[in-house]
Structure 1
Amino acid sequence: KGRKSLISESRANKEIESNGYIKVVIEIEAKSETIAANKAMKALDILRSFFCIQCNSFSEIIGNEFEPINKIRLGEFHTLHNASGNVFENSFWYDTSCSKAKVYVFRDERNTVKNVRNIVNIFSKFDKQYKSIISDSMLRFVRAFDEKNQNIAILRAWGALEALAAPNESNCDSVTTRCAFIFEEYEYHKQILEHLREYRNRNVHAGQESEMAKTYGFQIQKYFKQLFLFHIRQQGNFKSIDEANKFLDLPADKDKILHLQSIVEKSISFRGYG
């Protein structure tokens, strides 16, 4: 109640709806309007990140370099309402940087919805700390690829990858090795990740930008997606994300890991634990 009139009063043009967008209603409890707005947007963006994991393109042969990578994006207008539906007039916000997305057509809507529901179900089973780290990385991921400036998107997306691969760590090398561990061609993917990390560092420290930025963005998205799905598929196998990362720190080479196994077995025998 009052949404249309509030938007009309707050905007110079006549548009009061984001045409082509689905209207989403989020029901929450909060102690203030600000807290309610933040909680609602966080919930929506996490759900949106699950859809973007499923729906975003893997690459782009011909496209607009200023078009954000995310397929599922927010509309221009957001309003806050009380339990009766009446709008809070001081809590209207209009996203001036909004980049209108094309209507997304699902290739297989039923399968996509099924996959997202499965992810939501598994995600809910993580303990509080594990879930908090994944949530933070998903928010960073989805908000990074809303960016029209692809160089900014890369910086933010790499931050999302770091937040998931090496939370609260300063060891940058661990990001590349842990992400590469997931893939059979370990050395190949490690080299790609090192190249992406070096480009990101040049961008941060020297402001160096590249026409290949969007391509790099798609590559970072690939590694983030696979790392996220690794945690989803392995839910229940690790007590914490630190334990999962110790697993990802293991050597990928067969001979090295078998040698490590033999040392552990000798240690078990020496301590008399066998």
Structure 2
Amino acid sequence: MIVTKKSFKSAFNSKGFDNYLMLLKELVRFDSEVPDAVKEQILHDAIWHAADMEQLQSGYIGSQIKRLEADYLAQASKKYYLITAVSITGIKSKRLIKTPKSVIAISRYFPKKFKQSYDFQQVHMMYPKINQKCYSWVTIEVSARCEHAATELALEQLDYWRGIFNIFFNRNYTRTSFGKPAPINKITKYPYHSLHMENGDKASPFYWFDPNFSYEASSLDVFKSYESAKSFYIKLSSDIEGCGSRNFFTEILNRYCVSLDTANMNSSFLAMWSLLESLTFTGKENYDVTIARTLILFKDKFHLRLELDILRMKRNMAIHNGQQFEEAEKYAYLLMNIIHEYLFFLVGAISKSNSIEQLKSALDLPPDRAKLLKARQELGDEIEKLDLLESLIKIDG
């Protein structure tokens, strides 16, 4: 097959071309403000332009990528509104939530401004079994350079809020399902997302959908619990802002949501373990580091170590042997509740640390009072030696 592109005269043999684009995308370091869809467009335009100019070599393509990226970043931001829904009921009046980069409005009624341009028929055709009474409508206001950036940002901010609210409702909870389980998250996303301009018109002919959507998701009545959940959200969000690691925790909360939105408990369990590795800054170190840094927080270290060793064994079995296991739901809940406590601990720990490296070193110290006292005494002796040396001689430099 021959691959062509509108507005360019060159053509490529498709054999291997998609792989080339994929590898090039991984090698190019784009600014974090450039969304994935724009990255793809920039790469395509740079390659075809280089081919038209008979300059199909890395240096020229690289310069074109940087030029196109700079053009994109120079664009002014404008307001966009993403229309979706979440699986809660009991909202008697419109609720406003502020996240770091958006304003979210939740209502039992569809927002009037966007009613004429929203494609209700398309939603019904794609998801005929969906029960709208199980959802509340959500409008997410963001500022972005383009529709792709707006959608990415809106969904990111929705999952920031949803992550904290789900922690409130998921915390210290467990269950055993008979038959196909529902997703663990109490608040799940509507499967269809539509982007609009400030005047109500659609911002794009495209729509976005949730690949993790499950009809097994249940609806949560928040009539009596919303205010408590909101207070929890405000407190944790404020603590995250105060610790100076907003981007880190935004990614953690987004991954938390994705992990627990699926009805596949094996997937939830594996994603939860990966999340624990990120929270403990394990990186390329082995699982002993993950377990040791997790244990630092808990008093009953003997019992928790046994649990974590079993969880690690189950994780390895699922990864290396591709095996599914019946207890996945139970283990996912067990791991989730460990993650909740560690996340709260980490927000405070980061705020007290000078750097992540300092915190990692502190977490690797032995959580034993006698050993820490001995280390403190040895350090004091070394400091005394340094003070003595400086008092005896003049130190050059």
**When the two structures are superposed, what TM-score results if normalisation uses the length of structure 1?**
0.88
State the alpha-carbon separation in 1 of the partners of residues 352 and 260 from structure 2.
30
Q: Conserved in 1, the CA contact under 8 Å of 2:144 and 2:150?
A: yes
CA, structure 1 residues 255+63, in 2 after alignment: closer, same or farther (shift >3 Å)?
farther
Question: Do residues 188 (structure 1) and 300 (structure 2) align?
Answer: no
Relative contact order: is structure 1 or structure 2 higher (C-alpha 8 Å, sep ≥ 6)? Answer: 1
Query: Which range moved further: 164-173 or 247-256?
Result: 164-173
CA, structure 1 residues 253+63, in 2 after alignment: closer, same or farther (shift >3 Å)?
farther
Which structure is larger by alpha-carbon Rg, 1 or 2?
Answer: 2
From 207, 211, 225, the counterpart of 1:92: 207
Q: Conserved in 1, the CA contact under 8 Å of 2:280 and 2:290?
A: yes
State the alpha-carbon separation in 1 of the partners of residues 175 and 123 from structure 2.
37
- State how 1:1-274 maps to structure 2 within 5 Å: 1-2=114-115, 5-9=118-122, 11-12=124-125, 18-56=132-170, 58-61=173-176, 65-95=180-210, 97-100=212-215, 101-106=217-222, 108-127=225-244, 130-166=245-281, 168-234=283-349, 236-272=351-387
Calculate percent identity across the aligned residue pairs.
23
CA, structure 1 residues 167+24, in 2 after alignment: closer, same or farther (shift >3 Å)?
farther
Query: Which range moved further: 252-261 or 207-216?
Result: 252-261
SS at match of 1:236: helix
Shift of 1:3: 6.3
State the alpha-carbon separation in 1 of the partners of residues 240 and 203 from structure 2.
32
Deviations 1:223-246 (A, max 9, x none): 211111002234531123332232
Shift of 1:180: 1.1
* Structure 2: gaps spanning 5 or more residues: 1-113, 389-397
* Structure 1: gaps spanning 5 or more residues: none
Shift of 1:97: 4.4
Q: Conserved in 2, the CA contact under 8 Å of 1:186 and 1:252?
A: no
Shift of 1:119: 0.8
> Which residue type is aligned with residue 373 of structure 2?
L
State the alpha-carbon separation in 2 of the partners of residues 53 and 246 from structure 1.
28
Q: Conserved in 1, the CA contact under 8 Å of 2:280 and 2:294?
A: yes
**When the two structures are superposed, what TM-score results if normalisation uses the length of structure 2?**
0.63
Deviations 1:82-129 (A, max 9, x none): 1212123423134364124322134643222111101111111233xx
State the alpha-carbon separation in 1 of the partners of residues 198 and 271 from structure 2.
36
Q: Conserved in 1, the CA contact under 8 Å of 2:194 and 2:202?
A: yes
State the alpha-carbon separation in 2 of the partners of residues 139 and 242 from structure 1.
24
> Which residue type is aligned with residue 159 of structure 1?
S
Q: Conserved in 2, the CA contact under 8 Å of 1:8 and 1:16?
A: no
CA, structure 1 residues 237+206, in 2 after alignment: closer, same or farther (shift >3 Å)?
same
Q: Conserved in 1, the CA contact under 8 Å of 2:192 and 2:209?
A: yes
Query: Which range moved further: 247-256 or 112-121?
Result: 247-256
